[in-house]
């Protein structure tokens, strides 16, 4: 029986991932800084779910929780680096501590997770890493500057490790959704969300992640997977459009009334 370890799994996309994989027979690790919610979800799902406390910016917590989960599950097959935060609004009007916290969780959290999990993934019968990137990693987003930058970093980590860890037989992939109907986008202060709308559900993202875990590895398996029609269009256009066209498009999409 395969297992999956999910960071930031107590609610939103993480909870949807946990629920879907549990339904498909996986042993599920629900790890989150909100331990009460994580435990409630694990209890709701059943005996193949285990909850634990995890602050992804703390490497020692990663080491402890991964060791604990491996002892319970037998092996770790899938790591999903889902935990993330978002601050929106004008860059200069956002406190510098919020910018730093975004990097600590969205970037360092992924680095910590990948680094701490590798010894377990190497020993597993099957292993895959799925990182949560974003359509914000297609082109830098105004009013979401640090969040967008953090997702560019996740994109780079994913690309580099997907090549580097071929020697271990481990694929490292990511998903790139546009805005998702979760608490993260509630009261978000960015022109792009007003112009693009919120059309994806947490379940849409979870289903894409499940497909990426199940797909057979080949040279044609894409490292990045946009989620939703709009994300796919933006991702495709960014590959062929001149830079000034991408810039103008994003200026239009981010325009406020």
Catalytic residues, by residue number, are 147
Give Cα 152 to chain centroid, integer Å: 12
CA pair distance 212, 203, nearest whole angstrom: 14
At 28 the three-state DSSP class reads strand
Q: Is the dihedral of CA 123, 46, 206, 21 positive or negative?
A: positive
At 217 the three-state DSSP class reads coil
Cβ-contact 136, 144 below 8 angstroms: yes
Phi-psi region of 51 (alpha: psi -120 to 50; beta: other; left: phi over 0): beta
């Amino acid at each position: 029986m395969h297992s999956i370890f999910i960071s930031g799994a107590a609610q939103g996309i993480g909870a949807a991932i946990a629920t879907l994989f549990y339904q498909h027979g996986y042993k599920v690790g629900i790890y989150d800084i909100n331990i009460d919610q994580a435990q409630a979800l694990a209890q709701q799902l059943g005996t193949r779910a285990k909850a634990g406390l995890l602050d992804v910016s703390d490497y020692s917590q990663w080491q402890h929780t991964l060791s604990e989960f491996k002892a319970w599950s037998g092996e770790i097959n899938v790591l999903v680096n889902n935990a993330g935060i978002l601050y929106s609004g004008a860059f200069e009007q956002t406190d510098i501590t919020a910018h730093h916290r975004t990097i600590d969780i969205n970037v360092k959290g992924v680095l910590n997770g990948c680094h701490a999990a590798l010894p377990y993934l190497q020993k597993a019968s099957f292993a895959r890493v799925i990182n949560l990137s974003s359509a914000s990693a297609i082109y830098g987003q105004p009013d979401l500057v640090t969040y967008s930058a953090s997702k560019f970093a996740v994109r780079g980590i994913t690309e580099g490790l997907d090549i580097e860890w071929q020697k271990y037989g481990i694929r490292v992939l990511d998903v790139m959704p546009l805005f998702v109907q979760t608490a993260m986008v509630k009261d978000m202060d960015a022109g792009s969300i007003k112009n693009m709308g919120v059309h994806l559900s947490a379940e849409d993202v979870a289903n894409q992640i499940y497909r990426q875990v199940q797909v057979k590895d080949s040279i044609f398996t894409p490292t990045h997977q946009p989620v939703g029609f709009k994300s796919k269009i933006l991702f495709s256009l960014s590959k062929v459009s001149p830079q000034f066209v991408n810039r103008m498009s994003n200026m239009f999409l981010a325009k406020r009334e």
